[in-house]
């Protein structure tokens, strides 16, 4: 599926819930965001219809996200169904890892092979503050279980925030010395109107790399492994390895060096909107058509429409962030 500037759209991110068992300070307000009603959320059979229609049009990668995808009931059965859709050859999930210890085996058994775990501090107290109550031990246990179960690669996503966790950047990078993890540093994005955060908190990918270079030379890596981000093939992460390291370091600079030119994504929000760009408010409703009996041809037309309105680029870095009202937990980060 080519969009109007010839980008091949082959990646669908599906937010399966807006709910979460954490309240990360950069993602949600303290009291959470008003939850969508049960009726407002796409049912599994509706998500599956969209994914099947998208696969027929050329989507081959699907990532489940949220909110926290592991809090939605029976997510394992959804994964089993998506894994069996012809054309979907890369299925992954992004989680905060809290429930992963208990669920890793079931997820693997359903056909999931790749997992991204968000982890922003290795200090239990700081982790508790950042997530407003999360237990670091549960996430570390989740990572351990995922590794033991056979997930590969295990990607750990760190949102780097000045004055909060920048002192831990090297400690995170050191994890790759002994473990085959992909540790990916993500620039903090001022989305969702989170009052506490401002542009002064952003640490650019270049600055993060500069800090890590204290540990050794950063050796560029061409390919992050099967389905992983590729430095040349359009994935968003720039990849490096420290000398002798088992794992890989990734730097995702959505703000300082955005990758719109190679963006291959489409998003489906938990409330049934196709969203062509994280940073654009344009959304195409598929829930109403799904619930009023649309046929597959109509669904296919709506997917084409979403792709045809995908913006060429975003300008979040140039100070118009107030426009981006939906938080990451609502859109599906």
Catalog residues that contact ligand SF4 under the rule CB under 6 A.
20, 22-24, 27-28, 66-68, 96, 118, 328-329
The region of 88-96, 166-174, 270-278, 310-318 touching ligand SAM under the rule CB under 6 A is 88-96
Can you say whether residue 111 is alpha, beta or left, with left for phi > 0 and alpha for psi between -120 and 50 degrees? left
Region of 19-27, 210-218, 231-239, 281-289 interacting with ligand SAM (CB under 6 A): 19-27
Rule CB under 6 A: say whether 176 interacts with ligand SAM: no
Residue 157 touches ligand SAM, criterion: CB under 6 A: yes
For residue 26, state whether it binds ligand SAM (rule: CB under 6 A): yes
- How far apart CA 62 and CA 83 sit, in angstroms, is 9
**Residue 209 interface partner, choices ligand SF4, ligand SAM, none, CB cut-off 5-8 Å depending on type:** none
Nearer to ligand SF4, 127 or 240 (CB): 127
Q: Which CB atom, from 24 or from 237, has the smaller least distance to ligand SF4?
A: 24
Per partner kind, with CB cut-offs from 5 to 8 A, the member of ligand SF4, ligand SAM, none near residue 264 is none
Q: Is residue 75 involved in binding ligand SAM (CB under 6 A)?
A: no
**Which option in ligand SAM, ligand SF4, none does residue 115 bind, with CB closer than 5 to 8 A by kind?**
none
Q: What would the x/- binding string for ligand SAM be over residues 186 to 225, using CB under 6 A?
A: x-xx-x----------------------------------
Contact of residue 191 among ligand SF4, ligand SAM, none (CB under 5-8 Å per partner type): ligand SAM
Give the nearer residue to ligand SF4 in terms of CB position, either 59 or 191: 191
33 binds ligand SAM (CB under 6 A): no
Angle at CA of residue 212, ends 209 and 214, nearest 5°: 125
Cis ω on the peptide bond leading into residue 15 (within 30° of 0)? no
Select the binding partner of residue 276 from ligand SAM, ligand SF4, none (C-beta < 5 to 8 A, by kind). none
Q: For ligand SF4, which is the closer residue by CB, 20 or 36?
A: 20
Please, which residue, 121 or 329, has the CB nearer to ligand SF4? 329
Least distance CB 28 / ligand SF4 (angstroms): 5
Q: How many CB atoms lie within 10 A of CB 2?
A: 10
Q: Which does 186 bind (CB under 5 to 8 A by kind): ligand SF4, ligand SAM, none?
A: ligand SAM
How far is 50 from 48, CA to CA, in rounded Å?
A: 5
> Which of ligand SF4, ligand SAM, none interacts with 283 (beta carbon under 5 to 8 A by kind)?
none
């Amino acid at each position: 599926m080519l969009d109007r500037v010839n980008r091949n759209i082959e990646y669908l991110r599906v937010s399966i819930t807006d709910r979460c068992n954490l309240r990360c300070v950069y993602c949600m307000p303290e009291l959470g965001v008003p939850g969508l009603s049960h009726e407002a959320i796409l049912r599994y059979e509706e998500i599956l219809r969209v994914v099947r229609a998208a696969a027929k049009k050329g989507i081959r990668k699907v990532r489940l996200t949220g909110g926290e995808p592991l809090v939605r009931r029976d997510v394992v059965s959804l994964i089993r169904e998506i894994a069996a859709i012809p054309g979907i050859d890369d299925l992954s999930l992004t989680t905060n890892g809290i429930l992963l210890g208990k669920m890793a085996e079931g997820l693997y058994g359903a056909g999931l092979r790749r997992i991204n775990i968000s982890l922003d501090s290795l200090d239990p107290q700081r982790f508790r503050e950042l997530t407003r109550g999360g237990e670091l031990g549960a996430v570390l246990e989740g990572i351990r279980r995922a590794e033991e179960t056979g997930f590969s690669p295990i990607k750990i996503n760190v949102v780097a925030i000045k004055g909060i966790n920048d002192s831990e950047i090297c400690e995170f990078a050191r994890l790759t010395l002994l473990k085959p993890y992909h540790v990916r540093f993500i620039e903090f994005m001022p989305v969702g109107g989170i009052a506490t955060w401002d542009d002064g908190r952003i640490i650019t990918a270049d600055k993060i790399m500069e800090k890590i270079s204290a540990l050794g030379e950063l050796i560029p890596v061409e390919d992050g492994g099967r389905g992983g981000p590729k430095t040349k093939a359009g994935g968003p992460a720039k990849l490096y390895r420290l000398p002798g390291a088992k794992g890989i370091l990734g730097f995702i600079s959505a703000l300082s060096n955005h990758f719109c030119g190679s963006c291959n994504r489409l998003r489906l929000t938990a409330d049934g909107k196709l969203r062509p760009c994280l940073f654009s408010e344009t959304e195409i409703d598929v829930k109403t058509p799904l619930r009023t009996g649309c046929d597959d041809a109509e669904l296919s037309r709506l997917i084409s429409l979403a792709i045809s309105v995908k913006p060429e680029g975003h300008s979040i870095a140039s100070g118009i962030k107030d426009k981006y009202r939906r938080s990451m937990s609502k859109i599906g980060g």
